[in-house]
């Protein structure tokens, strides 16, 4: 992530915490920074290692878990339950809290794109779920597939595509 973009993201994060009367301590900010820096979601242990690689004072995984709990609670970080990994929110603009998020997870390169559902989808889904009298605890959708780059690699038949083909359903017409 470019320095300027990182500064903006961290300042938006601070703003979010201020508005919620929560404290974005130095450590919390540093953990968020490591997540923003990485292009893929990380497990708490991967995050601990990445942090300790650059930090002056090492941190324990236990503390990272606590910090992640906090960051998830203020929606600066999302917990992808299907993979048990964490990613920084890409939709942090000021105090905006999203209601319904779709996470498009590429099974080949593990990159994740976060998109927000439009209001009418949110309303329709809420109505539908209300009708079933089911009480929703979280509204996060994790969908798996192939990102655009991986689809491209696949049609070009590069080595990566062979690795991908084991993980994702085949959508091309190649004969096997
Ligand atoms: Zn988000
Ligand atoms: Zn991909």
Give the pLDDT confidence of 98-126 residue by residue, as tens digits. Answer: 777 889 999 999 899 998 888 888 889 88
40: tokens are 């893929």
Task: Look at residue 118 in the predicted model and tell me its pLDDT.
Answer: 83
What is the pTM assigned to this prediction?
A: 0.81
Distance 38 CA to ligand 2 centre (A): 15
Distance 116 CA to ligand 2 centre (A): 20
Task: Look at residue 97 in the predicted model and tell me its pLDDT.
Answer: 67
Ordered structural domains, the chain, with CATH: 1-93 (1.10.10.10), 98-169 (3.30.1490.190)
- The burial class, CB within 10 Å (0-12 / 13-18 / 19+), for 118 is exposed
Task: Look at residue 134 in the predicted model and tell me its pLDDT.
Answer: 87
pLDDT tens, residue order, the chain (176 aa):
788 989 999 999 999 899 999 999 999 999 999 999 987 899 999 999 999 998 889 999 999 999 999 999 998 999 999 889 999 998 765 555 677 788 999 999 989 999 888 888 888 988 898 899 888 777 788 999 999 999 998 888 765 545 555 444 444 444 44
d(CA 67, CA 17): 13
Distance 133 CA to ligand 2 centre (A): 37
For tokens 């974005």, name the residue.
24
47 contacts 69 by C-beta, under 8 angstroms: no
Distance 140 CA to ligand 1 centre (A): 10
Task: Look at residue 168 in the predicted model and tell me its pLDDT.
Answer: 44
């Amino acid at each position: 992530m470019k320095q300027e973009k990182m500064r903006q993201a961290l300042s938006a994060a601070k703003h979010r915490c201020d508005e919620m009367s929560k404290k974005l301590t130095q450590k919390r900010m540093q953990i968020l920074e490591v997540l923003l820096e990485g292009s893929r979601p990380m497990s708490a242990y991967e995050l601990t290692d990445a942090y300790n690689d650059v930090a002056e004072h090492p941190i324990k995984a236990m503390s990272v878990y606590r910090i992640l709990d906090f960051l998830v609670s203020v929606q600066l970080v999302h917990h992808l339950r299907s993979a048990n990994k964490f990613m920084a929110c890409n939709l942090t603009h000021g105090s905006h809290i999203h209601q319904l998020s779709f996470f498009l997870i590429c099974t080949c390169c593990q990159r994740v794109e976060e998109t927000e559902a439009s209001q009418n989808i949110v309303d329709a889904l809420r109505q539908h779920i209300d009708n079933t009298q089911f009480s929703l605890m979280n509204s996060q959708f994790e969908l798996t597939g192939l990102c655009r780059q991986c689809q491209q690699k696949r049609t070009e038949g590069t080595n990566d595509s062979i690795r991908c083909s084991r993980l994702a359903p085949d959508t091309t017409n190649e004969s096997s």
